[in-house]
Structure 1
Amino acid sequence: MKKSNRAYSISNVLTKKFHPLEFEGEWEDTLGKPDKAFSAILYGGTSNGKTEAGVMIGKYLSNFGKVDYNSLEQGLSATIKDALIRNHMESCKNNFRLLDRMPFDELIKRFSKPKSADFLIVDSVQYLRITKAQYYQLKELMLSKGKGIIWVSQAKGKLPKGALADDIMFDVDLKLWVEGFKIFPEGRLNGGGEPFIIWPEKAAKYWKEII
């Protein structure tokens, strides 16, 4: 891996090129226009729509590059298949790949390759079973290649579940709380900040609203 520079002059900083994703519509309203190498954590309680949200974000990101979705909790299962069908993922063609419980070492090898995906979604932190050092190894790899990463996490109360997930929450750019089939964004947003409705009918039932 190419060693990254750690010291920059003011002129270096001012001339540094970033690559904001030109999000539009409801995705821009929620996430703004993050840099391509953004990081996020998508977390919430069971049966609130985390995986559905992850698939939806993956579909939208496929407009900006290739997406790998590492399905660790459910693997290649009927529930994942249903989520892909509901979201018409066939429209992504080859820009979306489902990884079936790919372990950490294989992820590192995959994303070290020149033509690896532009974005990685890990579902979930708890099932990847990595250390804090391994988290930073993957983070540095993705940053060095200008790639984005989203961590899906279980929650305990209003916080991500477990010490590593808690550390990730404080490290990432975007914090995306999922409750009642809505995403509530916080963090280093370049615009955005509005809630995103994942599933209108279920959200309406949960929040007792008329959508």
Structure 2
Amino acid sequence: MKRTLSVNQVLQVRNDTLPLTGGWRECFGEIDRTGILFVYGPSTSGKSSAALCLAKELAQFGRVLYLSNEEGFRTSFQERLRRFTATDCGARIQFVCHETVGELIERLGKRRSADFVVIDSVQDSKILRSEYENLKRLSARKMFIFISRVEGRQPVGRLARQIKFDADLKVWVEGGRVISEGRYIGPVGHFDVLEEKAREYWSSNLHTSDDDE
């Protein structure tokens, strides 16, 4: 039987956290270094842009691996790398495309493997439940960011819905804006990763809501 702790003792427990900066700090505040983040939203909402922008932020704190199974290394992906000046990170971000999750797990078993892993997307990576359980175990010492498509407001597929349920932080992306839905919410609770898109989208949305009233 484990020892119980008082309120003061619990508050004195030290967690390994990430002091995020800029818009990410405004959105999430300070988050744990390990665990599962689940990023989801409509098509063309800016999910992959959000994931790449977050990957660049995380590169300050360790090694990042971006698994680009949905888009590969197409011109659109290359343009996104330029837009977010990913070259600033040097070798701290590594990219791979069309890799199976089995191969990813093998890669993560090596010395000096990535601390943060972006899987874009759940659906295109064709993750088996047993593979997900392996990744979930690894999330005790690494961070996994899963990107998912949606139908309406729900992730596509039973496994994607399970990952959302398990996630420490759920992140909805709409109109170029990242919105924290989980346990970590910063002073603002959202971050416009695509500023022009977000300004046009949310301004239009606000006017529509006002008209409806």
**Do they superpose with TM above 0.5?**
yes
Corresponding position: 1:169 with 2:167: no
Q: How does 1:196-211 map to 2 (within 5 A)?
A: 196-208=191-203
> Is the contact between residue 36 and residue 139 of structure 2 (CA under 8 Å) also seen in structure 1?
no
Tell me the equivalent position of 1:185: 180
Among candidates 101, 116, 119, match of residue 119 of structure 1: 116
Corresponding position: 1:107 with 2:104: yes
The Cα of 1:10 is off from its aligned counterpart by 3.5
The Cα of 1:193 is off from its aligned counterpart by 5.7
CA distance in 1, matches of 2:187, 2:148: 22
Q: How does 1:38-117 map to 2 (within 5 A)?
A: 38-117=35-114
Q: Deviations over 1:132-166 (max 9, x none)?
A: 232111110232xx111100000110121111111
User: Larger deviation: 146-155 or 133-142?
Assistant: 133-142
RMSD: 1.8
Q: Residue 114 of structure 2 aligns to a residue in which SS?
A: coil
> Is the contact between residue 32 and residue 193 of structure 1 (CA under 8 Å) also seen in structure 2?
no
Aligned residues: 200
* Identity rate, percent: 34
> Is the contact between residue 102 and residue 131 of structure 2 (CA under 8 Å) also seen in structure 1?
no
- Cα 1:113–1:57 change in 2 (3 A) is same
- The two structures have a TM-score, normalised by structure 2, of 0.87
> Is the contact between residue 185 and residue 193 of structure 1 (CA under 8 Å) also seen in structure 2?
no
Contiguous gaps of at least 5 residues in structure 2: 205-213
Q: Residue 173 of structure 2 aligns to a residue in which SS?
A: strand
Q: How does 1:128-139 map to 2 (within 5 A)?
A: 128-139=125-136
Corresponding letter in the other structure for 2:182: G
> Is the contact between residue 185 and residue 194 of structure 1 (CA under 8 Å) also seen in structure 2?
yes
> Is the contact between residue 184 and residue 193 of structure 1 (CA under 8 Å) also seen in structure 2?
no
CA distance in 2, matches of 1:141, 1:159: 25
- The two structures have a TM-score, normalised by structure 1, of 0.88
User: Larger deviation: 155-164 or 63-72?
Assistant: 155-164
The Cα of 1:195 is off from its aligned counterpart by 1.1
The ranges of structure 1 where at least 4 consecutive aligned residues each deviate by more than 4 angstroms after the TM superposition are: 13-17, 190-193
Tell me the equivalent position of 1:4: none
- Cα 1:17–1:190 change in 2 (3 A) is farther
CA distance in 1, matches of 2:52, 2:66: 8
Among candidates 151, 157, 160, match of residue 146 of structure 2: 151
Corresponding position: 1:9 with 2:3: yes
CA distance in 2, matches of 1:171, 1:78: 34
Q: Residue 121 of structure 1 aligns to a residue in which SS?
A: strand
The Cα of 1:131 is off from its aligned counterpart by 2.3
Q: Which has the greater radius of gyration?
A: 2
Q: Deviations over 1:175-207 (max 9, x none)?
A: 100111101111121645611101111112212
